[in-house]
Amino acid sequence: MSTLQISLAVIGAVLLALIVAYNAWTNHKNAPRRAERSDAPRQEPAFDGATPLPNMADAQGHPPPEDRDGDFAATVPDESALALALPPSSHSAERRPALDALIDAIAPLSLDHQVSGEAALAALPPTRRAGSKPFAIEGQNEESGQWEMPAPGQRYRAFQAGVQLANRT
């Protein structure tokens, strides 16, 4: 093989590698969005300090020192007291309008089966705009029946989409 043939083969291999890399990059860039998943459920700290923290050992494996007050279980309220302290949920009584009042065109979308929130979020446009106009979508939650923005971990039985046609700024 001559030097010309070897150099053309090397240039061809480099161009082929660049084409494959470009296609992989565009596939990654245009892939549907995925909902982020947290590994552990979030726990909020106690505000009054009455609930005990989990018994954790330090890095050397030694247990934490005992509480100086003695009987710590006496300071923890029972479940009935906690249930009375929480305000009653008014989520079902509070009905807000389905979409913003500025939305001009609303299209109801009926479904044959339930759709997960992750699938709904992946199908939404990334800019929340239809052309230059604001685009909004809400789903009817399967459990509560409320209209809400699609969220991961929820299931929806119907959607409604709206576009604000007139500029109102």
* Per-residue pLDDT, 73: 53
* Per-residue pLDDT, 38: 62
pLDDT 10s per residue in the chain (169 long)? 899 999 999 999 999 999 999 999 999 988 887 766 666 666 666 665 555 555 555 545 555 555 444 555 555 555 555 555 444 444 443 444 457 777 778 888 888 899 999 998 888 888 888 888 888 889 999 888 888 989 899 999 999 988 888 877 6
3-class DSSP assignment, residue 157 = strand
Dist. CA 139–CA 148, nearest whole Å: 6
The number of helix segments (H) and strand segments (E) in the chain equals 3, 5
Instruction: Quote the DSSP letter at residue 140.
Output: E
Q: Which residues pair with 115 in a beta bridge?
A: 156
The residue among 119, 118, 137, 120 whose CA lies nearest residue 128 is 137
